[in-house]
Chains A and B, each alone.
Chain A
Amino acid sequence: MSAADGTVGRFTTDRSLVVQTWDEWLAAATRIPESAAIGVAIGTLFPDLAERGLLARMRRVAEKGGVEVLAPVLHKYLLPCPPLDPASRLERMRQHVVIAPIDDEGGIAGITVTIEDVTARFDRHASADLDSHSETTRLRAATAIAERTEESALLANALADDSWRVRRVAAEGLAASTDGTVVDTLLQAIREHHQNPALLNAAITALGRKRHDVAPAILPLLQSDDADVRTYAALALGLVGDPRAARPLIAALDDVDTNVGYHAIEALGRIGDGEAANTLARIAESRDFFLAFPAVDALAAIGEASVAPRLLALLDDPFLAPATAACLGGIGTIDVVAPLAATLQSADAPAGPIAAALAALSERLGKGVREIVATTTTPDLLLSAVDGADDETLRGLVVVLSWFPSGRVDIALASLMQEAGVRRLVADTLARRGVRATPVVEEMARHADAEVRRAAAFALGGIGSPTSVKVLLDILADSADAELTTTAIVALGAIGDARAFTRLLDFLDCEDATVRQAAIGALSSIAHPDLEDAIMDRFVDQSPRVRESAARLAGYFAFDSCLTFMLAAARDEDALVRRAAVESLSAFDADEAWSMVCTAVRSDADATVRAAGARALGVATRSECRDMLLAALRDSNLWVRYFAARSCARREEADVDTVSALLECFVRDRAAPVRVAAIETLNSLGVGNLFEPLAVAANDADDDVSCAALRALAHYPPHDTGRILRNALEHGGPRQQQAAREALTLR
Chain B
Amino acid sequence: MTQNNSGGAGRLRGYHSELFALADAPFSLLRELIMEKTGMYFDDAKRGLLADKLSELVAVNGLTSFLDYYYLLRHDENADAHLNALMNRLSVPETYFWRQSEQILAMSEVIAPTHFATKPRAPLRVWSAACCTGEEPVSLAIALAEVGLLDAQPIEIVGTDGSPAMVARARANSFGPRSFRQIPANLKERYFEPDGDRWRPIERIRRAVSYDVANLAVPAEFAGLATADVIFCRNVFIYFADDVIRRVARTFCERMPDDGCVFLGAAESLTRLNVDLELAEIGKAFAYVKAGRRHHIERTNSAILATRTATHVTTGH
- Residues of chain A touching chain B, judged by Cβ–Cβ distance below 8 Å, are 135-136, 165, 168, 359, 362-363, 367, 370, 395-396, 398-399, 402-403, 424-425, 428, 432, 454, 458, 482-483, 486-487, 490, 493-494, 512-514, 516-518, 521, 579, 608, 611-612, 615, 638-639, 642, 671-673, 676, 704, 735
Inter-chain residue pair count (beta carbon < 8 A): 95
B11 nearest CB across to chain A (Å): 10
Residues of B close to A615: CB separation below 8 A: 64
Asked whether A514 lies within 8 Å of B16 as measured between CB atoms, the reply is: yes
Asked whether B276 lies within 8 Å of A370 as measured between CB atoms, the reply is: no
| B250 interfacial by beta-carbon distance below 8 Å | no
| B55 interfacial by beta-carbon distance below 8 Å | yes
Question: Given A398-B9, A608-B62, are A673 and B71 also a contact pair (CB < 8 Å)?
Answer: yes
Interface residues of B in 1-39 (CB under 8 A from A): 1-2, 4-10, 12, 15-16, 18-19, 32
- List the B residue with the shortest CB-CB distance to A525: B18
Asked whether B274 lies within 8 Å of A424 as measured between CB atoms, the reply is: no
User: A615 vs B68: C-alpha distance in the bound complex, in angstroms?
Assistant: 12
A734 nearest CB across to chain B (Å): 8
Asked whether A517 lies within 8 Å of B19 as measured between CB atoms, the reply is: yes
Interface residues of B in 257-309 (CB under 8 A from A): 274, 276, 291-292
Pick the contact of B15: A362, A458, A612, A672 (CB < 8 A).
A458
B81 nearest CB across to chain A (Å): 14
Asked whether A399 lies within 8 Å of B16 as measured between CB atoms, the reply is: no
User: A676 vs B26: C-alpha distance in the bound complex, in angstroms?
Assistant: 14
Provide 11 A-B residue pairs closer than 8 Å at the C-beta atoms, listed in order of the A residue: A359-B8, A362-B6, A425-B12, A432-B4, A432-B5, A487-B16, A517-B59, A518-B19, A611-B62, A638-B76, A672-B75
Asked whether A168 lies within 8 Å of B274 as measured between CB atoms, the reply is: yes
| B137 interfacial by beta-carbon distance below 8 Å | no
| B56 interfacial by beta-carbon distance below 8 Å | yes
Asked whether B52 lies within 8 Å of A359 as measured between CB atoms, the reply is: no
Residues of B close to A673: CB separation below 8 A: 71, 74-75
B50 nearest CB across to chain A (Å): 13
A27 nearest CB across to chain B (Å): 41
A553 nearest CB across to chain B (Å): 15
Pick the contact of B7: A135, A165, A367 (CB < 8 A).
A367
Question: Given A370-B7, A425-B9, A642-B71, are A490 and B60 also a contact pair (CB < 8 Å)?
Answer: no
- List the A residue with the shortest CB-CB distance to B57: A513
Asked whether A363 lies within 8 Å of B6 as measured between CB atoms, the reply is: yes
A254 nearest CB across to chain B (Å): 36
B6 nearest CB across to chain A (Å): 7
User: A398 vs B59: C-alpha distance in the bound complex, in angstroms?
Assistant: 34
Asked whether B12 lies within 8 Å of A399 as measured between CB atoms, the reply is: no
B105 nearest CB across to chain A (Å): 29
User: A579 vs B61: C-alpha distance in the bound complex, in angstroms?
Assistant: 11
Most central of B8, B52, B74 by chain A CB within 10 Å: B8
Q: How many residues of B contact A (CB 8 A)?
A: 34
A524 nearest CB across to chain B (Å): 11
Closest 6 CB pairs of A and B: A513-B59, A673-B71, A514-B56, A395-B9, A363-B8, A513-B60
Residues of B close to A487: CB separation below 8 A: 15-16
Question: Given A428-B12, A490-B18, are A513 and B56 also a contact pair (CB < 8 Å)?
Answer: yes
Question: Given A135-B292, A424-B48, A704-B74, are A514 and B19 also a contact pair (CB < 8 Å)?
Answer: yes
- List the B residue with the shortest CB-CB distance to A427: B15
Asked whether B60 lies within 8 Å of A399 as measured between CB atoms, the reply is: no
User: A181 vs B15: C-alpha distance in the bound complex, in angstroms?
Assistant: 59
Asked whether B64 lies within 8 Å of A671 as measured between CB atoms, the reply is: no
User: A579 vs B64: C-alpha distance in the bound complex, in angstroms?
Assistant: 13
User: A747 vs B61: C-alpha distance in the bound complex, in angstroms?
Assistant: 36
A723 nearest CB across to chain B (Å): 26
User: A611 vs B76: C-alpha distance in the bound complex, in angstroms?
Assistant: 14
Asked whether A483 lies within 8 Å of B19 as measured between CB atoms, the reply is: no
B82 nearest CB across to chain A (Å): 12
Asked whether A399 lies within 8 Å of B8 as measured between CB atoms, the reply is: yes
User: A399 vs B74: C-alpha distance in the bound complex, in angstroms?
Assistant: 40
- List the B residue with the shortest CB-CB distance to A363: B8
A461 nearest CB across to chain B (Å): 9
B177 nearest CB across to chain A (Å): 15
Q: Mark B51-87, 1 if CB is under 8 A from A, else 0.
A: 0100110011110100010011011100000000000
Asked whether B18 lies within 8 Å of A521 as measured between CB atoms, the reply is: yes
User: A487 vs B292: C-alpha distance in the bound complex, in angstroms?
Assistant: 52
- List the B residue with the shortest CB-CB distance to A677: B71
Asked whether B7 lies within 8 Å of A399 as measured between CB atoms, the reply is: yes
User: A516 vs B59: C-alpha distance in the bound complex, in angstroms?
Assistant: 9
User: A566 vs B13: C-alpha distance in the bound complex, in angstroms?
Assistant: 35
Pick the contact of A514: B55, B68, B71, B274 (CB < 8 A).
B55
User: A458 vs B59: C-alpha distance in the bound complex, in angstroms?
Assistant: 21
B207 nearest CB across to chain A (Å): 33
User: A615 vs B65: C-alpha distance in the bound complex, in angstroms?
Assistant: 12
- List the B residue with the shortest CB-CB distance to A576: B62
- List the A residue with the shortest CB-CB distance to B77: A638
Pick the contact of A359: B9, B16, B76 (CB < 8 A).
B9
Residues of A close to B60: CB separation below 8 A: 513
Residues of B close to A608: CB separation below 8 A: 61-62
User: A487 vs B60: C-alpha distance in the bound complex, in angstroms?
Assistant: 18
Residues of A close to B276: CB separation below 8 A: 165
Most central of A428, A521, A579, A735 by chain B CB within 10 Å: A428
Pick the contact of A521: B5, B19, B32, B62 (CB < 8 A).
B19
Asked whether B10 lies within 8 Å of A363 as measured between CB atoms, the reply is: yes
User: A369 vs B4: C-alpha distance in the bound complex, in angstroms?
Assistant: 16
- List the B residue with the shortest CB-CB distance to A643: B68
Asked whether A362 lies within 8 Å of B4 as measured between CB atoms, the reply is: no
User: A745 vs B8: C-alpha distance in the bound complex, in angstroms?
Assistant: 28
19 further contact pairs, Cβ within 8 A, besides A363-B8, A490-B18, A517-B55: A135-B292, A359-B9, A362-B8, A363-B7, A399-B8, A402-B7, A425-B12, A454-B15, A483-B52, A486-B15, A486-B19, A514-B16, A514-B55, A517-B59, A638-B75, A639-B72, A673-B71, A673-B75, A704-B75
Residues of B close to A642: CB separation below 8 A: 68, 71
User: A403 vs B56: C-alpha distance in the bound complex, in angstroms?
Assistant: 36
Residues of A close to B74: CB separation below 8 A: 672-673, 704
Residues of B close to A612: CB separation below 8 A: 62
Residues of A close to B56: CB separation below 8 A: 482, 512-514
Most central of A362, A514, A638 by chain B CB within 10 Å: A514
User: A321 vs B274: C-alpha distance in the bound complex, in angstroms?
Assistant: 35
- List the B residue with the shortest CB-CB distance to A514: B56
Residues of A close to B16: CB separation below 8 A: 486-487, 490, 514, 518
Most central of B5, B9, B16, B56 by chain A CB within 10 Å: B9
- List the B residue with the shortest CB-CB distance to A402: B7
Residues of A close to B62: CB separation below 8 A: 579, 608, 611-612
A417 nearest CB across to chain B (Å): 13
Most central of A359, A402, A490, A517 by chain B CB within 10 Å: A517
User: A562 vs B222: C-alpha distance in the bound complex, in angstroms?
Assistant: 55
Most central of B1, B12, B61, B71 by chain A CB within 10 Å: B71
Residues of B close to A483: CB separation below 8 A: 15, 52
Residues of A close to B292: CB separation below 8 A: 135-136
Residues of B close to A399: CB separation below 8 A: 7-9
Residues of A close to B274: CB separation below 8 A: 165, 168
